[in-house]
Structure 1
Amino acid sequence: MQSQDVAPRPAAEAVDPVVDVERAEAALVEHYPRLVRLAYLVLPPSLGRNRRVVTAHSLIQRALPRGRAASAPAIPAQSTGREGDPGYAFLRLRVLTTALEAGLPLRRLAWPKRSQLPPLLPQIWGLRLFPRSGGADELALDQRLSALSGPARAAYVLRGLEKLPDGEVRDVLAAAGVEDVDEALEEADAVPAQYALLDSPEFDPCSLQARPTDLMRRRQHTKAALAAGAALLVCGALLGMPGEGWGPDGPAAPSYAQNPAAEAALDPAQLTKVPALAWQSAARTDFSVWPARGDLADDSALLRRALAVWARPGEKVTVSATPGTPSGGPSGAPQLLYAGDVDNARVVILYDGLRIARYAEPLDGTDGAALDFSRVDNATRAEAGAVVLSRADGNVRYLMAPWVKKAAERDLLKPGAGAMDLTVTDGVTSPMASPATQQTGACSSWNALQVTDSTGTRLLTDLAELVPARLTTGRPGATKDVSGTQALHTWAPYSCWLGAMRSAGVRTVNAWAYARQALPDGTGAADWVCSRAETWRGGGERVLAQFRTPGATHAAVAAKAQNVPACGARDPHVLAGVLWKAQAGSWYLLAAGAGDTESIRATGGVRGSSEGSLLAVRAKQGAQAELQGTLESGRSIDGLK
């Protein structure tokens, strides 16, 4: 969330109030490019580059004093520079004050300030103006500045562009009406002091590029524009006043289609709303029998915006979809699963038989709408147990299936620690820690969602998608949910590698302990586990063969592959190897296959063979070997790479 700009209070007099027009005009002409650049940098980036350019010029052109001081000399002394020039100081303060005012939100019951409205002049019809693009450093700085509040941007620009020391920055900000100057300076400190970049063409609103706006559509929409203008004249008294609310279609792109079927799909009255207890008598238990929940399930305006954005998301809408998930509009009226306030957003969850779609908009303002998709076709009861409602501050909230009796949070790395119950209100869980953004190298915990219904208990994990992935264990083709003590201990050393499965459209992840091998130096036995992630789209499967020595907290990845049938229901076999160093310093090639492996042979940098499913051969550090196994059926298999 971007910081909110601070409302200026009436400005204190930081410069001599007696400044004659001629002196101010001289400073304006001499330093016009500098003042426009100052205004452009302080204006909120949410205005867009074209409007920031036009607004910056407009603010400078309205910055002159309205009258002439009585004591002003007829011919003012010529300025030798910005330092010590009261005319420039006066203009800079006026520009800074109005630029900060322009970033304030419009209030429904208060008259807007002139700087908050689009500028009357200058105006150029049919063209968009924006500064020339800079390099990657300028773009990164612009993104950092856009995350600051208006006063913090002003502090940064006064330091970098005006070369003012902090004492003078404090005086200017206080005179411009900033209430908490210390907070603005502290916030500006978070941005690296790349002040030289402020002189880049990226931030020069006087050196511009011009592009057409709607050149291809201008003629065909002239009549529509005239009709819209007439409607605005009739309704101007109501629609012309500034407001903070959404339009009927929210942040959706304009619609030019006259397709009755498409328009019908946007009608909130056509949404499917399943009764609360329908799932108890339904022949199937999946997302299609979820009831409509949430305190805004009857908010037609919100539902209309969600449907319109799904059909045609606007430029400011952030759209994401898991691999293999189409992001186009619904073919008909979808099913409503949830609509309500969650954390700092209004959230709508919809389902069209193939996808879950989540629309989210901020509670305050009209910036930051998001639309996310996840494929869920052919979901079973076990996989349709939860949907992610929101992620905030490292936590996640879920919307639970109506058949879930109990929800809890469990740390996979601590299988003996027990589960912590979650509160569920109208299907929505209390927040729990999410591993979705956790880095693999810093993995000290991995929290999973534990759900219990009439069929048993299972674990689901957040992999940065709308639908959490189901965790299972056991030989492929005979897997079971992770619930018992043995299954939990099987998963514990391998949980942190779930991070490698994030954002891949994962449906289930299975951990199969397929072999246990005595170490050649007699220090114990190592475990071999194969983890396989199945996806909703039926492709892109990821397979990891992992090796864990006695006493190790985490496992090491011995081999990995993608889009292979190994370790899956179609091919429940696996063979992998690893170079291992004994405590005495000797190196070995260790390899293991599943129980029905009859023999293993190593070639290349390490040569050796063994009867059975285990191989241990002396090797040199860094040696490369090729593995091949033979199954009891006579079929040959290659080792995972």
Structure 2
Amino acid sequence: MRRRYADLVRLAYLALDDGTAPPETVLAAARRTVRQAARAGGGSAYPNLRHRLALELLKQPSHHRRPWLRRLFFEPASSTPTPLRKTLQRSSPHERLVYLLSRLEGLTSPEVAAELGEHLMLNAWDIDRTRADVDERTDLDPAAQQAELQAFDPTLVRLRPPPSLPMTARIALVLAAVVLIAAASTSYERWRNAGRPGDPLMVGDDRWNRHQVPSLYDWPTQGELRDDRALLRRAASAWRDDRRDPPLGRVSVMYAGTVDEVTIVVMHDMPGTRDSPMVAQYFERQLSRGVESIRRLGNDSGQLIMLGTTWRYLVPPWLSDLSVALPKASAPTWHPLAVRNGVSDPLHWRWFDPDCQSFVVFRMRHKGSGSITQFASHNPEFATPLIWFRDADSRRDDTGFTGDRAQWTAIHALSCGAGIALADTGDLRIGRLWSGSLPDKGGHASLISIDASVPWGTPGMTALLSDDGRLIAGRGTTNGDYSASTDTIAGAVWWRSRERWHLLATGASGVASLKMVGELGNREARRKGQSTVLLVPGPPARGGYPQPARLPVVQIVVYEPDGDHTVISPS
């Protein structure tokens, strides 16, 4: 095959060489023509290849493309053309091809006519005349002509000799080229990373330190790719193109980096007072790119954000000492999590218990609020509510999980059995209104108040829990909300024993008395110690009657020491 290729290139070169183009240009055109003939199909035998090459040569233009880059470094090694080649150069393209097929390839006149008969009208007499004209203008016999043509090798090339410049000039040229390339590269990087109108906002590393309680808008831009402006523009543009949840206001970047070989950009918008902010996650993988999750936050506080399905969380710098536990357990087992460049290590589990709404519990330290506790999910669209436990003493601040068993029972109940949709709530405040024994051998239980920050002003609710965290009564109501004073909260709930229904109402230390009015008559309970408890037996519960919707209509009036009062219902 190598020999066939060399013969075909020689034939094509001599047929294309008219003496007007540089040798390297003719050589490039000859090689290109041979490749075209080889790709045309029809068999790999040499006669077939030569036949297709002859047809390609008849279609070649009169001028050739000049391989300028090749001429910078290489030049042909062929010498000045011989009289025979000069004679061929002065012939027409068709005459050159006819002559070469006859003398170089050794074909007879009828064979040449058959080779070119598809595109040229010629006969054996025309071929003999062309061959005789060349013979007459050279002093070589046919055998010598064939030997000279077969000895010609147009593929020999050599490196172009270096320019005749002194060594100092050569060094100066090299240094100038290096400086020019470096300057061009630096200029390109500056242009690529220069700020433009509409670019996403970048937040400095120290901004969150200026506030006692930093918010989402103080979250610094973190990650090793935060200076890649082109990436950040692609991410912001992809979010703006989202038809369902485009950003409101400017886009601010929270994180830009590579996590588990995936490029991730996390952003939030700035809607001001018009709406709650949203967080979007943009991904670039080997075969896909785009925004893969958009989550609306209940408030603008800094929250833990799971990065896609990497089982890692994005953590603001004002949170430290992270540890995580599963709420399913009867007692917490805390696993520490390290945070590097704003991203936590992966969780110890690759699953969340669906019985607990796919949430886990984080315990950490906040710069301005001490120890805090937070629910978080693997679903980036779910809320991550903070859990605050109301202190019985209103002069003390609310706190996160402190190790109290009753607190963990409440956490377990909220996520695994209290019937509260954590995915839709804001921050939660949990208060213990009462703890004691239920009648009719109902065992020990606790009545807790649950208040959510979203929507703002939502009435509070109650939950009656067993010591193992089971919800043992339908949810009742309270007279409080997320921002209400701790010591004036009261709650009421219906509870069913084996024998009958019972109404349980209780108030915190700031409640002076509770009064029941309605179909069960009037009953009143005054404060004893730090709480006020009203436990009233209701209708029988044998045979499943009455159903909860048919319970007696009652209301609880909550009196404070100064005479103010509110009204709540057990259901």
Q: Provide TM-score, normalisation by structure 2.
A: 0.53
Distance 1:578 1:619 in 2: 11
Q: Give, as a single letter, the amino acid of the residue that structure 2 aligns with 1:525.
A: H
Which one-letter code corresponds to 1:603 in the other structure?
G
Listed one character per residue, the Cα deviations across residues 456-512 of structure 1 (whole Å, up to 9, x for unaligned) are 2211112654662110111697661223122634524523247633332x3311111
Partners of 1:608 and 1:617 within 8 A in 2: no
**What per-residue deviation string (whole Å, max 9, x for no partner) do you get for residues 265-319 of structure 1?**
2x3xxx33233334334566223332211232223332122211222226xxxx5
Cα deviation code 1:525-572 (max 9, x no counterpart): 32111212211x526x374321124x44422342256xx963443475
SS of the residue corresponding to residue 293 of structure 1 reads coil
Report the Cα distance in structure 1 between the residues aligned to 2:304 and 2:259, rounded to whole angstroms.
13
Question: Structure 1 residue 503 and structure 2 residue 503: aligned?
Answer: no
CA contact (8 A) 2:476 2:491 kept: no
1:141-182 superposed Cα distances (whole Å, 9 cap, x missing partner) = xxxxxxxxxxxxxxxxxxxxxxxxxxxxxxxxxxxxxxxxxx
SS at structure 1 position matched to 2:432: strand
Matching residue within 480, 484, 488 for 1:566 = 480
Q: 1:579/1:502 Cα in 2 relative to 1: closer, same or farther (>3 Å)? A: closer
Tell me the CA shift for residue 627 of structure 1. 2.8
Q: Which residue of 2 aligns with 1:205?
A: none
For 1:36-435, list aligned pairs within 5 A: 264-265=197-198, 267=199, 271-282=200-211, 285-313=214-242, 327-332=245-250, 334-343=251-260, 345-354=262-271, 355-366=277-288, 369-375=291-297, 379=300, 383-384=301-302, 386-392=303-309, 396-414=311-329, 416-432=331-347
Residue 599 of structure 1: how far off its partner (Å): 2.9
Q: In terms of Rg, which structure is larger?
A: 2
C-alpha deviations, 1:181-231, integer Å up to 9, x for none? Answer: xxxxxxxxxxxxxxxxxxxxxxxxxxxxxxxxxxxxxxxxxxxxxxxxxxx
Structure 2 unaligned regions, length at least 5: 1-195, 272-276, 527-532
Does the 8 A contact of 2:330 with 2:468 survive in 1? no
Decide whether the 8 Å contact of 1:397 with 1:431 is kept in 2.
Answer: yes
Whether 1:488 and 2:407 are equivalent positions in the alignment is: yes
Give the alignment partner of residue 631 of structure 1, picking from 544, 558, 568. 558
Does residue 459 of the first structure (1) align with residue 388 of the second (2)?
Answer: no
In structure 1, distance between residues paired with 2:423 and 2:357: 21
What is the aligned partner in structure 2 of residue 617 from structure 1?
537
Change (3 A) 1:553 1:288: closer
How do residues 461-480 of structure 1 correspond to structure 2 at under 5 angstroms?
461-462=375-376, 464=379, 465=381, 468-474=384-390, 480=398
Supply the distance in 2 between the matched residues of 1:468 and 1:435 (Cα, whole angstroms): 19
From 354, 363, 368, the counterpart of 1:450? 363
Find the aligned partners of 1:590 and 1:640 in 2 and give their Cα distance. Answer: 7
Aligned residues: 344
Q: Is the 8 A contact 1:472 1:482 kept in 2?
A: yes
Identify the residue that residue 544 of structure 1 maps to in structure 2: 461
**Larger relative CO (CA 8 A, sep 6+): 1 or 2?**
1
Distance 2:214 2:203 in 1: 13
Change in 2 beyond 3 A, CA 1:565/1:264? farther
Give SS of 2:312's match.
strand
Q: Which residue of structure 1 lines up, in the alignment, with residue 135 of structure 2?
A: none
Contact 1:311 1:329 in 2 (8 A): yes
Q: 2:499 aligns with which of 575, 586, 592?
A: 586
Could you tell me which runs of 5 or more consecutive residues in structure 1 were left unpaired when the two chains were aligned.
1-262, 320-326
TM-score, normalised with respect to structure 1: 0.47
- Give the match's secondary structure for 1:599: strand
Instruction: Check whether the contact 2:212–2:367 (CA below 8 A) recurs between aligned residues.
Output: no
Percent identity between the aligned chains?
A: 16
Q: Specify the alignment match of 1:30 in structure 2.
A: none
How many Å apart are 1:590 and its aligned residue? 3.0
| 1:405-446 deviation digits (Å, cap 9, x = unpaired) | 32110234547444110121211012237999754xx34995
Query: Equivalents in 2 of 1:594, 1:351: separation in Å?
Result: 42
